[in-house]
Chains A and B, each alone.
Chain A
Amino acid sequence: MKKYLAVALGILTAIGGFVDIGDLVTNAVVGSRFGMSLAWVVVVGVGGICLFAQMSGRVAAISGRATFEIIRERLGPRAGTANLVASVMITVMTLTAEVGGIALALQLASGVQPLLWIPVAAFAVWLVIWRVKFSIMENVAGILGLTLVVFGVALFLLGPNWGDLRSQALQQTSHPRETPLTYWYYAIALFGAAMTPYEVFFFSSGGVEEKWTEKDLVTSRANVMVGFPLGGVLSLFIAGCAATVLLPRGVDVDALSQTVLPVAIGAGKLGLAIVILGVVAATFGAALETGLSAGYALAQFNGWSWGKFRRPAEAARFHLTIIVCLIIAVLVLLTGIDPILVTEYSVVFSAVALPLTYLPILVVANDPQYVGEHVNGRLLNAVSSVYLVIILVAAVAAIPLMILTKAGA
């Protein structure tokens, strides 16, 4: 019985933890401009992250080695350093977006200017990383994030034309006022939002934090294979709400308030209160994950001792890195830059950075030295190779499309 509870908890945490500010904003933007015609990207993205999270979790559980140690070993110093620099920059960018997201959500709740919330949010994030146990942190943030299911509730209450939504999803064509270029640009953005690179560092490092062994493989697989797809469904709800409320009115999403507007309309004040709680929890949880991931990446690459399972005094440089990254995030946000803008760029750059983390994981998941007998099966390799191609195409096309579409204007 205890085992089932643990698995259930893990799944719920995975669902609630799946959505971050990138998913929130990108799905809302996409829903408001393209309806459900990009829904397939969410499906593809969820499939990809399930695949690679499972592989990186397996490597961590059996070899005890986390992602960036492997990147250093496999790529050597030159390519490894380039990888590290790019990955840390993107992770810090995402961290900045998440902290900004917390502040924006708190603004929605309180009416107080986000600039005032930013240092508070960052401090709170740091405090939790400093003092709260890893599993408690994960579980609480994940469960609270589940409240985002109110997007689904609101969607049903809004009574959309389901046939319309379905035909949008299946047609996969651009909306009349959009061009194919913007369609594909947002496809890549959505892909990057679903397959965030930091998730892989975090998942594999988390496996080492929680001292996974071979016995935990089943649980971790369940968390991933059930939790992440359901999290993807949440993303689709967000897009669906936007498609139902914002699309017909031609409302563009450029503020967090518009993302949650459909919930307010569909589920009233109570719905709005719940969704704001959900957004705060999801962005806070994601800020914890990205902050830790920046620390994991730098510490593992350099061979420092790391991990929340150690007292901060025993992982000094790891914690210093996280503090510095949080300070950078705060300083950037205090320039007054719009967190939504940071979010929109961070998801596209995430797509560019994807091959850097996924390639080494795929290689190592096949290496018996690391995973013993649990090497990838033929089918898994075949599917992963297809994903690798998709990831490379997305990574290469992202920047040119960004330039051509002026970042999706």
Chain B
Amino acid sequence: MLLSEILRRPVVGEDGPLGFVADCRLALDGPPHPLLAEARLVGLIVAPKNRQGFLGYERTSVSSPAPLAQWYERRQRGSFLVLWKDIESVDDVVTLRPGYTRWSSAL
């Protein structure tokens, strides 16, 4: 499956819709290969809105003085990470298991 296809799909939990897939988090913590370690899908970042943003600038901050700090803050607002073990199924809609945990989406 192409992870890029999962982006922007709606996410639902037992209590109803939770948002949309904003990103997929990988960790390079698998067995090392000659060059890079194996990459595992750790979880999905869920964001409340299916933000297209202005020209795609939802990923960064334009008012630059403290760009990275402001950007992380804006990106995190309302968004959270769900781990792989809390995801029940991936189809046109991503369904989470009951009792899933919300983790911080900060990098």
Contact = CB atoms under 8 A, between A and B. Distances in A.
Interface of A: 74-76, 78-80, 359, 362-363, 366-368, 376, 378, 381-382, 384-385, 388
B27 interface: no
Contacts, number: 38
B68 A368 contact: yes
Main secondary structure of the interface of A (DSSP, over half): helix
Contacts of A76: 56
A363 B55 contact: no
Main secondary structure of the interface of B (DSSP, over half): loop
What 5 pairs across the A-B complex have the smallest Cβ distances? A366-B67, A76-B56, A79-B55, A366-B64, A381-B64
A382 B63 CA distance: 9
Contacts of B56: 74-76, 78-80
A360 B107 CA distance: 22
B62 A75 contact: no
Contacts of A382: 65
Contacts of A78: 56
Nearest to A73: B59
A376 B62 CA distance: 13
Contact of A376 (B60, B64, B68): B64
Interface in B60-91: 60-65, 67-68
A385 B55 contact: no
A385 B63 contact: yes
Interface residues of B, number: 12
Interface string B21-59: 000000000000000000000000000000000011101
Contact of A384 (B59, B60, B64): B64
A75 B63 CA distance: 16
B63 A74 contact: no
Contacts of A74: 56-57, 59-60
Given A74-B56, A74-B59, A75-B56, A363 B65 contact: no
Contact of A381 (B59, B60, B65, B68): B65
A366 B64 CA distance: 7
Contact of A362 (B55, B62, B68): B62
Contacts of A376: 64
A359 B68 contact: no
Contacts of B64: 362-363, 366, 376, 381, 384-385
A69 to B, nearest CB: 15
Contacts of A359: 55, 62
Contacts of B61: 363
B29 to A, nearest CB: 21
In this complex, the member of B59, B63, B67, B68 whose beta carbon has the largest number of chain A beta carbons within 10 angstroms is B67
A367 B65 CA distance: 11
A79 B59 CA distance: 13
Contacts of B63: 385
Contact of A367 (B57, B62, B67): B67
24 contacts: A74-B56, A74-B57, A74-B59, A75-B55, A75-B56, A75-B57, A76-B56, A78-B56, A79-B56, A359-B62, A362-B64, A363-B60, A363-B62, A363-B64, A363-B67, A366-B68, A376-B64, A378-B65, A381-B64, A381-B65, A382-B65, A384-B64, A385-B64, A388-B62
